[in-house]
Amino acid sequence: MTLFRLDGKRALVTGGSRGIGLAAAHDLIRLGARVTLAARHEDTLKTAANAIGAQWVVADVSTPEGVAAAVTKAGDVDILVSNAGGPPPGKPSEVSEAAWQAGYDTTFLSAVRLANAVLPGMRQRQWGRIIAITSLTVGRPAPTLPVSNAMRAAVTNYLKTLALEVAPDGVTCNTVAPGYTATDRLKALHDNPADTDKLIARIPARRFGQPNEVAAAVAFLATVEAAYMTGQELLVDGGWSI
């Protein structure tokens, strides 16, 4: 038997135009899945989708309409990878209500709405994989990422709770928590070379992770072979959390 194939499965990857989402989508395609990428900007999304052989749909998953558009385009979703851009940094005591709301809509509520939209079909087919990208900051809060710290913890516990409900239906729910991974988001958050060197010195692996290294964990959780793994948080962080 060939291990880790996803032939015939359909996947939806949100925030899929670059970085970790795009790398995860590429791995799922290599394993045989038909993948739809959802993101907000048509030009980058179309280029990324064409490069890996995915379908694409312009959708802002912080809104109910965006979630509906993404799920409609993807068809019967067997594998959901919930991954939308991380909230901006700030001082915890100075985050505005608007920024909390934006973080809630984009990071937390998008994961809930997407899961609710794909679950009926997964339950009917008695097979499904719901995977959310979170962060090593769950349980290890980064001092300058208050919204991200809070919302990713919420996503983690929401999916653990959902995992309990849907386990009898053959649906698993897990999170992949990246450490410092070399993407545009990381470059935007850490643009000072001296700070970057200090940060790398604190990572046991002494380097940033690569998007494909996070993607591999996502792809594994999507497989048939990962059927008995649910409600878990898989850290891909070069040893940071040890």
Among 13, 29, 62, 156, binds ligand NAD (CB under 6 A): 62
* Residue 40 binds to ligand NAD (criterion: CB under 6 A): yes
Sign of CA dihedral 132, 135, 138, 141: negative
- Please identify, using beta-carbon distances, which residue of 125 and 202 lies nearer to ligand NAD: 202
- Please identify, using beta-carbon distances, which residue of 32 and 204 lies nearer to ligand NAD: 204
Rounded CA gap, 141 and 170, in Å? 33
- Please identify, using beta-carbon distances, which residue of 142 and 224 lies nearer to ligand NAD: 142
- Please identify, using beta-carbon distances, which residue of 133 and 171 lies nearer to ligand NAD: 133
Residue 68: CB atoms within 10 A of its CB come to: 13
> Which stretch, 111-119, 157-165, 180-188, 223-231, contacts ligand NAD (CB under 6 A)?
180-188
Rounded CA gap, 90 and 159, in Å? 26
Strand order in the sheet with 233-236: 55-58, 34-39, 10-14, 79-82, 128-133, 171-178, 233-236
Q: Contact positions toward ligand NAD, by CB under 6 A?
A: 14-21, 38-40, 60-62, 83-86, 106, 133, 135, 178, 180-181, 183-186
